[in-house]
Structures are given as structure tokens and as C-alpha cells.
Amino acid sequence: MKTWKIWKNRSETYWKINHLYHMKSLGIKIIKVSALFLVLLFSILMLKTISQYTSLEKNIGFLAFKQQVADNPYWMTFFYIHIFSITLCLLAGLTQFSNRFLAENKGLHKMIGKIYVYNILIINVPACFVLGLFSNGGIIGITGFLIQDVLWAYFTIAAILFIKKGNVSTHRIYMILSYAVTTTAITFRIIKNLFYNETLHDYELFYGLNVWAALFINLFIAYLILRKESLLPGKINGGKED
């Protein structure tokens, strides 16, 4: 009888642990699918927004608020480089966090990863640094954009260095953080469309605070994802695999 109770308790414990594990896995999958769907949806919406700039007119969309630099050929060049390449970063990142995609398409994963990294480090980080210096939102917006740019470069470079050392888990951490910064463009627009009211808010102040809000929200979401995937404990260990 005693042996039966011990076996029963162990079976119940095993069932509970197994149930919690599957619930956790399901939760991670739901978060991933939801996040991928939202990024894809807003990437498409961004493409629609970006398409208006193909006319090269200087008084449409965002440029209507940047007339002080709209005649500066250098600023305009960096602006067009950024807006026409950022969607490629967003779409490239969509495929990079699927374990199934990675297992079945390692070569394609590496190729898309290189496109993502080169796009950020060679094209968008330099372009966004220049654009950030002339950002809306006053000193709040400028510092927010420049810090985003520095973090974007740091997370992406760290991801490269760790994968070269063979540390896949830490590479994944920094790629998630890098993509969190990449998608601040989406979060920024969501906040603006949901909460900005030109009769109630000062545009410059709202814009500057929105830059910081988008960054904090995305990094917090990245933190939750990393916790869900149990990647945070012992994440930095001198470049060696956990």
C-alpha cells in the first residue's frame, strides 16, 4: 500500500511537471506567433506608408515636419536610405527566430542573417545616427534616437561575436535584443496612432517621449521572451556555451 502511494505521488508530480512544461511551451508559441503576425502586419503597413516617398516630394508625410532640413541633400539621402531599407530588416528578422526554420534551412538562415546584419551595421546605423542628430522631440528625442542607435549597433555586433565563438544561446539573446530595437519603428507608430492628439499634446514633447517609450516597451517585451525561453540565467559566460 505504501509503495502504491509513493508511485501515485510520483506519477502525479510527473504529470504536473509535464503539464506545466507543455503549458509553458504553448505560451511561448502563442507569444511568438502573435509577435510575428504583428510584425508582419505592421511591416506591410509601413510599406504602404513608405510608398508615398517614392514621389520624392519634400512636403509629404513625415517630411512635412522636417522642412528645416528638407533642402539638405545629405539629410535627405540618409532619410531615403533609411526608410527604403528598414522594412528589409523587419522582414529579414521574421524568419530568424524559428527553431524549425533554423533546423531545416541553416544555409538560408545564415544568408538572411548576414543581410540583416549588413543592412543594420553598414546602412541603417550610420544613417540613423545622422537622422538622430536632427530628430524631432528636442533634446529628449535626439538623445533617445542616438541611444537606440548605439544599442542597435552593440546588440548586433555582440550577436556576431558570440556566434563566431560558437555560443548559440548568447547569440540568440543578442539577436532578440537587436530585433527589439529594429521593431521600435513599429511600436513608435502604434503609440503615435493610438494616443497622439494634436489638440491635447505638444508634438515635440510627445514625439521625444514616444522615442523612449518605444525603446523601453520593446526591450521589456524582449526580456519577457528571454525569460520565457529560459535564456537569461547564466547568459554571459565568457563566450562558452552554457
Are 242 and 169 contacting, i.e. CB atoms less than 8 angstroms apart? yes
Longest dimension (CA), the chain: 88
Q: Which three cell numbers stand for residue 62?
A: 513625415
Q: Which three cell numbers stand for residue 179?
A: 530585433
pLDDT at residue 228 in the model: 78
Q: How far apart are CA 151 and CA 141, in angstroms?
A: 15
To 10 degrees, the CA torsion angle through 236, 237, 241, 242? -90
To 10 degrees, the CA torsion angle through 141, 206, 199, 45? 90
pLDDT at residue 59 in the model: 81
What is the Rg, in whole angstroms, of the alpha carbon atoms belonging to the chain?
A: 22
Q: How far apart are CA 131 and CA 155, in angstroms?
A: 20
Q: Which three cell numbers stand for residue 202?
A: 505638444
pLDDT at residue 49 in the model: 73
Phi then psi dihedrals of residue 234, to 5 deg:
65, 35
CA triplet 73, 74, 75: central angle to 5 degrees?
95
Secondary structure (3-state) at 59: coil
Q: How far apart are CA 9 and CA 12, in angstroms?
A: 5
Q: How far apart are CA 233 and CA 112, in angstroms?
A: 28
**Cell 526608410, located at residue:** 83
Low-confidence ranges of the chain (pLDDT < 50): 21, 235-242
What predicted TM-score, i.e. pTM, was given to this entire model? 0.76
Q: How far apart are CA 70 and CA 217, in angstroms?
A: 31
Are 128 and 149 contacting, i.e. CB atoms less than 8 angstroms apart? yes
Are 53 and 61 contacting, i.e. CB atoms less than 8 angstroms apart? yes
Q: Which three cell numbers stand for residue 203?
A: 508634438
